[in-house]
């Protein structure tokens, strides 16, 4: 999308409040935005002329073997070492507890030596069962979408392009089932790369690894087709290559992260809400921006019509989204009620609040940010966070009471004497070494629950604060009540970082963990959320994103709300 000249913001528009934004149902309606990590990473790659590509492939006729991809930033080299193996069909599972995969990968710092490759060959295909070194930055694995992979191989080997409908029904050739960073299994701590500008933002290394995995899947399918029919095989049409993303299956392992990193999450939301406020504050919309916005809306409507899921709840929400976007198009046509108003975007957003579903409202937020790179993109650099969650011992009980009364007012009405208000409990599974969600009244282990029952802990803190001397300090309370230490620190942290708290009861019987997953995955830049239950979802990443040789071209960043390509052009 072309850059647009915008009116400067004459006065700040208030940010949407945490009470509005940090609710599970709205978080579970999130979309990719310009600030999403994949978007920010690819923009940097293009801006800095990174060179990416395959540097080594030792693959047999079936595509089994190893390959190495390089991302050369100009000052550093990162390599994705890929291993592709034969996998018995009965072992192909999305579950994180699988032990074998079609392909496994390590993103490493620098170029691998032969000794590195031999060591990685022994460990990377075993994933969690392997052991790694700080030279490895990310570890991940993926399984083929066998139906689509075989179809594409077959068609290419016949000298034909794959069927577009079949391609669109899946959207990717492989699906990752876990992507590990930050010191897991001995790989590099995040601190090792946190001060490198190219990887300084949240999840940049993981996003880079997944982008290179996508390139591997595209090369792999062409390799197998070529080996099958060397004389006849053709390459994938570049438009189809671009349309194919990389899939992912995500379950509960990711969900507690949003709870346990309040400062980081605050920064993510603050950046997005600041971007939205900047756009809403604009006094006028230029002709160019209006045209670009209309074109993007048309694409978003097409995207929604191609977003098909089996889950009946999400299917109904998508149906409503399609109606919402149609209503938005009608609203845009009524220029007197929109463009002619002062602060047209603010006016449009207010209309959406009262007229559209949460999916529709959040889709509008994503759409509104797209035409304004000059207002939005710099905020992507503000989304990381270091430490800082330490207890302020000087704070008085009186001040703590105020914070609890204001920031945690949402907890007051939750009656934990009602069994359903705490039916669920989060725990670490000994068998799977992953967070899981249990039924407190039907399963053992609730005494070992993870501290996600914020509202319940808060009520205990409020009780203690009510009984304490208002002049007493947090230091005194923490000394006397070590059991309240974590919630005390959390309350203080959230007072400084108000988007850091999810304002819903995460142990309620009705909690839907996929709301947490979708929110986080949307910040990554994912799309086509495809819930398979309340507990896990499939997604598509990098669909429509530029290929490595397209990075930095005009329009390369314009891939939100991807749609099937028009091959007639």
Partner 1 sequence: MNVSLNEIEVTSRRAAVGAGYPQGIAEDAGAALRWLCATGLSGVEALLAALATPGEPPRTPERNDTIWAWRPATSGGRLSALLLGPCVAEWVEAAPTASPGRIVVEGLVAPLLFLPHAARLAGEGSILVEWHGSDGAARLLIHGDELALAPGSVLLPVSPAEITMSLHPAAASAGLAPTPAAASRRAAIQQGVTIADAAWQALVVLATLSFVPASAQSRLHGAGAGLVDDD
Residues in the site for partner 1, rule: CB under 8 A? 89-90, 92-97, 133-134, 143, 145-147, 170, 182-184, 186-192, 249, 251-252, 390-391, 393-394, 427-433, 436-439, 442-445, 448, 451, 473-476, 478-479, 482-489, 513, 532-533, 535-536
* Least gap, CB of 258 to partner 1 (angstroms): 16
By CB atoms closer than 10 A (0-12, 13-18, 19+), residue 125 is buried
Do the Cβ atoms of 500 and 477 come closer than 8 Å?
Answer: no
Euclidean distance between CA atoms 370 and 292, whole angstroms: 9
Listed residue (352, 341, 311) closest to 531, CA to CA: 311
Euclidean distance between CA atoms 23 and 502, whole angstroms: 6
Do the Cβ atoms of 392 and 474 come closer than 8 Å?
Answer: yes
**Tokens standing for 218?**
């595209």
Euclidean distance between CA atoms 151 and 161, whole angstroms: 10
Q: How many CB atoms lie within 10 A of CB 312?
A: 9
Listed residue (15, 124, 23, 21) closest to 68, CA to CA: 124
* Least gap, CB of 481 to partner 1 (angstroms): 9
* Least gap, CB of 445 to partner 1 (angstroms): 3
* Least gap, CB of 53 to partner 1 (angstroms): 28
* Least gap, CB of 132 to partner 1 (angstroms): 9
**Tokens standing for 36?**
């999403």
- Comparison of 226 and 259: residue with beta carbon closer to partner 1: 259
DSSP string, 165-198: HHHHHH-EEEEEEEEE-TTGGG---HHHHTTSGG
- Comparison of 75 and 394: residue with beta carbon closer to partner 1: 394
The 527-531 sheet, strands edge to edge: 51-59, 65-72, 77-84, 103-109, 136-144, 172-180, 245-250, 537-541, 527-531
- Comparison of 42 and 502: residue with beta carbon closer to partner 1: 502
* Least gap, CB of 128 to partner 1 (angstroms): 13
- Comparison of 373 and 445: residue with beta carbon closer to partner 1: 445
Listed residue (523, 170, 509, 514) closest to 317, CA to CA: 514
Do the Cβ atoms of 270 and 18 come closer than 8 Å?
Answer: no
H/E element, 106: strand 103-109
Phi–psi pair at 91, nearest 5 degrees? -100, 0
* Least gap, CB of 13 to partner 1 (angstroms): 37
**Tokens standing for 59?**
């693959």
- Comparison of 438 and 548: residue with beta carbon closer to partner 1: 438
- Comparison of 44 and 456: residue with beta carbon closer to partner 1: 456
* Least gap, CB of 195 to partner 1 (angstroms): 10
Q: What is the DSSP letter of 396?
A: B
* Least gap, CB of 297 to partner 1 (angstroms): 32
- Comparison of 126 and 532: residue with beta carbon closer to partner 1: 532
Q: How many CB atoms lie within 10 A of CB 118?
A: 11
- Comparison of 439 and 469: residue with beta carbon closer to partner 1: 439
* Least gap, CB of 551 to partner 1 (angstroms): 29
**Tokens standing for 93?**
């599972």
Euclidean distance between CA atoms 244 and 145, whole angstroms: 12
Stated length of the chain: 569
CA angle 369/372/374 to nearest 5° reads 130
- Comparison of 379 and 397: residue with beta carbon closer to partner 1: 397
* Least gap, CB of 199 to partner 1 (angstroms): 14
- Comparison of 380 and 452: residue with beta carbon closer to partner 1: 452
- Comparison of 335 and 448: residue with beta carbon closer to partner 1: 448
């Amino acid at each position: 999308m072309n850059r647009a000249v915008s009116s400067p913001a004459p006065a700040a528009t208030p940010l949407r409040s945490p009470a509005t934004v940090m609710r599970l149902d709205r978080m579970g309606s999130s979309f990719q935005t310009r600030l999403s990590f994949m978007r920010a990473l690819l923009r940097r790659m293009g801006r800095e002329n990174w060179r990416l590509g395959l540097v080594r492939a030792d693959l047999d006729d079936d595509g089994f073997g190893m390959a190495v991809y390089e991302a050369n930033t100009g000052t550093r080299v990162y390599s994705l070492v890929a291993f592709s193996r034969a996998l018995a069909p009965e072992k192909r599972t999305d579950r994180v507890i699988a032990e074998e995969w079609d392909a496994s990968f390590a993103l490493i710092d620098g170029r691998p030596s032969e000794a590195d490759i031999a060591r990685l060959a022994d460990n990377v295909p075993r994933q969690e069962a392997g052991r790694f070194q700080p030279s490895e930055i990310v570890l991940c694995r993926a399984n083929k979408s066998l139906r689509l992979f075989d179809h594409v191989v077959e068609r290419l080997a016949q000298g034909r392009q794959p069927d577009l409908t079949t391609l669109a029904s899946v959207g990717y050739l492989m699906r990752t089932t876990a992507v590990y960073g930050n010191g897991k299994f001995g790989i590099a701590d995040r601190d090792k790369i946190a001060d490198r500008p190219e990887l300084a933002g949240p999840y940049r290394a993981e996003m880079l690894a997944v982008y290179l995995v996508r390139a591997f899947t595209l090369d792999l399918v062409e390799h197998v087709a070529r080996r099958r029919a060397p004389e006849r095989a053709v390459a994938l049409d570049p438009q189809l290559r671009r349309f194919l993303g990389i899939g992912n299956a995500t379950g509960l392992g990711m969900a507690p992260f949003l709870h346990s990193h309040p400062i980081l999450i605050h920064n993510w939301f603050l950046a997005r809400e600041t971007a939205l406020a900047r756009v809403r504050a604009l006094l006028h919309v230029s002709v160019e921006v209006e045209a670009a916005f209309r074109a993007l809306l048309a694409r978003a409507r097409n995207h929604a019509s191609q977003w098909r899921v089996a889950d009946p709840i999400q299917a109904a929400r998508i149906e409503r989204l399609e109606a919402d976007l149609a209503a938005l198009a009608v609203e845009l046509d009524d220029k007197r009620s929109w463009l002619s108003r002062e602060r047209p975007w603010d006016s449009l957003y207010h209309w959406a609040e009262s007229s559209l579903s949460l999916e529709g409202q959040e889709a509008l937020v994503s759409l509104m940010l797209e035409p304004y790179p000059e207002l939005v993109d710099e905020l992507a650099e503000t989304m990381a966070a270091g430490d800082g969650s330490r207890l302020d011992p000087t704070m008085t009980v009186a001040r703590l009471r105020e914070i609890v009364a204001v920031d945690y007012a949402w907890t007051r009405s939750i009656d934990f004497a009602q069994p359903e208000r705490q039916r669920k409990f989060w725990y670490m599974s000994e068998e799977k070494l992953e967070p899981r969600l249990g039924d407190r009244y039907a399963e053992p282990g609730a005494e070992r629950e993870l501290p996600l029952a914020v509202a319940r802990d808060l009520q205990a803190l409020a009780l203690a604060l009510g009984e304490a001397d208002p002049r007493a300090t947090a230091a005194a309370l923490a000394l006397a009540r070590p059991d309240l230490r974590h919630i005390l620190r959390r309350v203080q942290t959230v007072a400084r970082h108000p988007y850091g708290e999810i304002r819903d009861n995460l142990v309620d019987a009705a909690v839907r963990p996929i709301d947490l997953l979708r929110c986080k995955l949307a910040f990554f830049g994912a799309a086509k959320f495809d819930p398979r239950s309340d507990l896990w979802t499939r997604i598509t990443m990098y669909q429509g994103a530029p290929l490595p040789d397209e990075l930095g071209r005009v329009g390369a960043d314009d891939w939100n709300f991807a749609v099937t390509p028009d091959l007639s052009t």
